Chains A and B, each alone.
Chain A
Amino acid sequence: MTLVDAQLLADLHFWYAREARLLDERRYDLWLETVDDAIRYQVPTRYLTAQADITDFGAWTVDRELAQASDVLLIDDDHAGISKRIERLQSGMAWAEMPPSITRRIVSNIEPGEAQEDGGIEVFSALLAFKSRGPDERSFLTAQRRDLLLPADGDFRLRRRLVIIDDTVLMGENLSIVL
């Protein structure tokens, strides 16, 4: 393993904590400012898959469980898509979020990965997301986030996010919040 720049780790922790707070406080306007225009935000479907060549641990990866290229995802948004998602929440007619879910996002296991050619940083993290609309509508989910952050003016912008949910069948009644 390589040692990590302590300042970078501190910066990332701060960035993720703030992002989670903005989403939990529903400050979508401020959150959108952290999102790059070229964002790709994806949540793949996931399948229980054989690990037949189990001796080859290199092939025994999570990626094999995820939707393949031509397959259907749960979310596949570009900037326009994610902006519409936010607009919808503010439309006054997004009934699944009226009243809005009470949410809490806990982000941990923050791990910087490879530095990318364009100066971006790949960051892995773990997400625990809770939402509640009263006792009959509560759900938890956990996921891995694989992000690409671009450093910009002493801050980061979110260029890519892949959210790998730890379920093959989603247990909440919908996915009405930003993960």
Chain B
Amino acid sequence: MDARHDLIERSVAPDASWIRPDIFSDEALYRLEQERIFGRCWLLLGHESQLPEPGSFFRTHMGEEPVLVTRTLEGEVRAFLNVCRHRGAQLCHEDRGVAKSFNCRYHGWAYACDGKLLAAPGEKQLYYGELDREEWGLIRVAQVESYKGLVFGNFDPDAPPLADYLGNMAWYLDILLDRRAGGTELLGVQRWRIPANWKIVAENHVGDEYHVGFTHGSQLTRPIESRAAPAPLAREIRPELGHGIGVDIIPEDLSPGERGGFDEEVNEYLRSIAGEMTERLGEMRPRLFPIHGLVFPTLGMVPILNSIRVIHPKGPNEIELWSYCMVDRDAPKRVKEILVQRSVSAFGPAGSFEQDDSANWTGVTRNTAGHQARKHRLNLSMGLGHEGEVDGLRGEVGLTASDINQRGFYLRWVQEMTGGQA
């Protein structure tokens, strides 16, 4: 095996009870991630609600690649590299909008919103009518699929379908995406750069319940108790290796979907949809309140505050975080407003929670990069060997705060980086 393979294997313990800091800073590993992780995994592009009409488009990224997502005039969602086929200029420069076609500003090649090359200036006289338009359309993202409103893309034409990729995670995502007939909508986006490696951010979303009591001490009403013994706020569930979700169990005295501490208007709304939720999801799932989670590799979720985010890597030492609010599309306007305002007050660059998160991620990235610090392993052993199964839940479960999902995340990383062999 090559040196890179060695580096991958020595970065993560066989049981993922530890990792080495190289994983956060090594340039060669980062380059390989672009190929093996961001080139092969399903990545969130956005939500169908962001493409309300034919010709709607928005820009995003898949890994480091600039991507243009469109709704064609026939209503289909497509994604392309945002790169002109002629000489590689950036095709679309706006963040979002509606357009019938996209004109490259370098030499004027024009593309339809389904990616076809419509025209090139001088096709007859300068190209002698020999330019094959079929061949020179935009480069399509090999696969684009939606899961109940969320739109994902995959550069690998041979990747398994999205439903297989999500596996049991879909069953939990349904608590958010499928609890109402009208589905959800995505609002936003807040975008900001954080000088941190993408994996420390991803692992925080996938399973780090442990940090809540301390990092977010400024926001907790009983910080001292939480600091002494992190209460099992949530069960850490590992539906599939790499994906993770933390859920709170809603006590019997509350209605399904409800939660103490919410505005009365919101709880009133949640009570009003309890029947619909139960009808759609059964008895068990409406009693689970998703707190945080991750769809491997970079779709982070903080459903307790309606936040959905994509961690875009920008080199080993930097990310651009894109954070959206997700709400039930048919919720009353006032409820949406309350939820969005709550979300923004806690999450995003100015959020009372996330400010302190980003300070941690930056510190990890910066302070583990040195020659000495890199020699020493970091601990992921919490709850190792104490995972279990819970009747009615899908996947493995950590019964208290546990590193179960961070271990799953890094094991999945090894799996993907070594080409699918565990």
| Chain A residues close to B by CB (< 8 Å) | 43, 45, 47-50, 70-77, 81, 84-85, 88, 91-97, 136-137, 168-176
Contact = CB atoms under 8 A, between A and B. Distances in A.
A76 B341 contact: yes
Contacts of B191: 45, 168-170
A49 B94 contact: yes
Given A50-B97, A71-B188, A173-B195, A93 B341 contact: no
B349 A49 contact: no
22 contacts: A45-B189, A72-B188, A72-B324, A74-B190, A75-B344, A77-B345, A88-B218, A93-B217, A93-B223, A94-B356, A95-B215, A136-B195, A168-B191, A169-B320, A170-B191, A170-B192, A170-B193, A173-B193, A174-B354, A175-B349, A176-B350, A176-B355
Contacts of A45: 188-191
Given A45-B188, A171-B193, A88 B352 contact: yes
B336 to A, nearest CB: 7
B93 interface: yes
A174 B187 contact: no
A64 to B, nearest CB: 10
Contacts of A92: 218
Mostly, the B contact residues are mixed
Interface of B: 93-97, 99, 187-196, 215, 217-219, 223, 320, 323-325, 333, 336, 340-341, 343-345, 348-350, 352, 354-356, 358-360, 362, 366
Contact of A70 (B96, B196, B336, B360): B336
Mostly, the A contact residues are loop
A72 B362 contact: no
CB-CB nearest 6 A-B residue pairs: A72-B188, A170-B192, A175-B350, A93-B217, A96-B355, A93-B218
B352 A48 contact: no
A160 B300 CA distance: 34
A95 B325 contact: no
A174 B355 contact: yes
A145 to B, nearest CB: 16
Given A75-B344, A77-B345, A91-B218, A174 B350 contact: yes
Nearest to B361: A173
Given A91-B218, A93-B218, A174 B359 contact: yes
Nearest to B214: A93
B345 A48 contact: no
Contact of B366 (A76, A136, A168): A136
B325 A72 contact: yes
B356 A96 contact: yes
B352 A84 contact: yes
